[in-house]
Chains A and B, each alone.
Chain A
């Protein structure tokens, strides 16, 4: 995900960054702004360079940040997360349990002249599913097995099992032109239907997009956008202060007060600790409840994240995801109750292993250490192990020997509980640490349920079970924080997408 904290942050000891930041504050003067909006050009600094501009190949937030402006999808989301038609003329209809039918808008062309029609959609689906293409996006497509042309502007998307997720999946499938996509150089010569076209890509240095003069939709205010790749957060912030950049992503809450302008949105990054309910002291529900009562979530949000976070409502999902349960409330901070529960469980003084990683997500290590301290304060011995990310993943995915407690920052690009719950609730999930048959049954039922209301109930019921049984320690949901130049006007989106067409310059 684009929200993933980039690596560079982890290499610089915090104290040295602090010195740099102090210096910044000390010698801050009025930043020079680029010349006023002749043709409205902006510069965006990304954490790293897209590895390709082929929109079907990789799972890479930096690639998406660029290609989302060149390519379009059948279905899109409003800024607050609701699905709406994109290249499709209307929301799809389900013609049978495994088939969703999409009507396309007429008259849209790719920038090389190929028409956007049923053939293009079929070719796109075939391309992404082809095993030899090795797409890393298959986890966004669920059980989709193919597409069939009905007529020139009607296409069926077919899945193996009943698949209620197809409309949401279509927000992730960028439609490519069949002929141009065969070109071996397609990955660096993108051809889309979107509001921008590639102007120049100097590998390693920058990418420039220009407004597509023949765009079918409303003309965007920004005429030209240059993407620069700056891994080091201190340099990114300096570039923003120096007027070289108009937008930087992943601004640390500690630096937010220094940016000329800050834009935030309730993000989709949810932190939690997965507890092993099958063995050790965490097999006792009283201990798991105590681990939740012990942590002051409000303090994490306001102190550790400077207010750029909110306390989770006993589920690590965002309110705009399908399956979110609005009736759940946060487990309150109550150390006395935590101690009492531990006493009842005869677990005072017992030790617990907490696994985590460092530098992957914003303040992951600090948050883990804070949780460990809260647990210690109620009478547990906590052994924290901070692992290098690959070792951490080996622990997280270890199916034979589940970690006792493992910290995680979860986000869900599909905005649908199935992705969260398949991975962390249900049997066989890559990060599942419980053996509750009821939970698995609810999730599996929801994954196949075509009645939206029944499906919603399955997931909400599963969320309630996980909350009641304290299968996880629920922590905080982070906000996405962007640094903006004074002149840029933009409201970030909950889905983390950076659509340049939604930006403009202050007059």
Chain B
């Protein structure tokens, strides 16, 4: 088990290094932070001077060596725009994203499991068909559109909830629903199909024949097996929410998280901040992956950890 974990962490480290190199090269090749920082009418000389002061006129390999040595010392550099350590800025924003993602994934897992099981109990029934239709809808609706729709309905029209920002729990409702929607749909579909498979297995019939209650057969025996693929999917959904969906959701709801920060950094060509965000997210993705693999093993002893 330990060997397995170490191996996974090792792979993860390789991935993080590769991501770091790619992001460094790409950001330096396709951006020109000074152009974005100075007004259009700034003179050529003013532009050249700021480029020099930021050290962006040095050869790329020299900048890369500099970058690697700093990152090696866990110094992720200073944001070009905010002139503060990138890590400090990320530290301020990450809790907002974690709060949003954790709540959304908890909601998605609970609802996905519940709806999936509900649909699987009577495949083809009206309940099942309704849930399948809703899942397809939930997967197909673009999140920014869903977000704006919810704002119009529940904030502007009904005045139940605020349109944007942070504060008490009411502020969390709309972004959580928007972020969780595709994951609920995905998980429900996955749980439904694996549950249907499990319920047709011999051991289920045997358990029923032995006189176990239907609730116990479904809720304990079948669900445990059916939840293994769902767990992998939940890991994936968590990663996708953390590294992608949050950008759209946080921007639409003015939520001050990491996705919003990444969007700002791209827009402003704040390359040091962007590199730091990508590395931090890459580390989180690797950690989640390792955690999912370990959990997988814990739930299903048949899994070969090689």
Q: B-contacting residues of A (Cβ < 8 Å)?
A: 1, 7-8, 11-12, 16, 19-20, 23-24, 27-29, 31-32, 48-49, 51-52, 57-60, 131-132, 134, 136, 138-139, 187, 203-206, 228-232, 234-235, 238-239, 241-242, 244, 389-390, 393-394, 396-397, 399, 408, 410, 412-413, 419-420, 422-423, 428, 430-431
Contact = CB atoms under 8 A, between A and B. Distances in A.
B163 interface: yes
Interface in B133-178: 142, 144-145, 148-149, 151-153, 155-157, 159, 162-166
B116 to A, nearest CB: 30
B145 to A, nearest CB: 5
Contact of A204 (B46, B96, B156, B268): B96
B152 A24 contact: yes
Contacts of B49: 131
A16 B166 CA distance: 26
A172 B46 CA distance: 17
A87 to B, nearest CB: 24
Given A231-B263, A431-B40, A205 B166 contact: yes
Nearest to B31: A390
Interface residues of B, number: 58
13 contacts: A8-B251, A23-B149, A31-B156, A49-B256, A59-B37, A136-B37, A139-B46, A205-B166, A230-B164, A234-B148, A390-B32, A397-B44, A430-B40
Interface in B28-67: 30-32, 35-44, 46-47, 49-50, 53-54
Which of A52, A131, A430 has the largest number of chain B CB atoms within 10 A?
A: A430
Contacts, number: 166
Given A139-B38, A204-B92, A204-B260, A230 B159 contact: no
Contacts of A393: 32, 35-36, 40
Contacts of B162: 239, 242, 244
Interface string B244-268: 0000000111101100110110011
Given A8-B251, A397-B44, 13 more contacts: A7-B263, A20-B145, A27-B152, A51-B81, A139-B42, A203-B93, A228-B164, A229-B256, A232-B148, A235-B151, A244-B164, A410-B41, A430-B40
Nearest to B89: A203
Interface of B: 30-32, 35-44, 46-47, 49-50, 53-54, 79, 81-84, 89, 92-93, 96, 142, 144-145, 148-149, 151-153, 155-157, 159, 162-166, 251-254, 256-257, 260-261, 263-264, 267-269
Nearest to B266: A7
A57 B153 CA distance: 42
A203 B252 contact: no
B165 A205 contact: yes
Contacts of B163: 235, 238-239, 242, 244
B148 A235 contact: yes
B159 A419 contact: no
Contacts of B268: 51
A428 B44 contact: yes
A7 B267 contact: yes
A138 to B, nearest CB: 6
Contacts of B44: 397, 399, 428, 430
Given A51-B81, A139-B43, A205-B256, A235 B164 contact: yes
Nearest to A231: B251
Contacts of A131: 49, 53
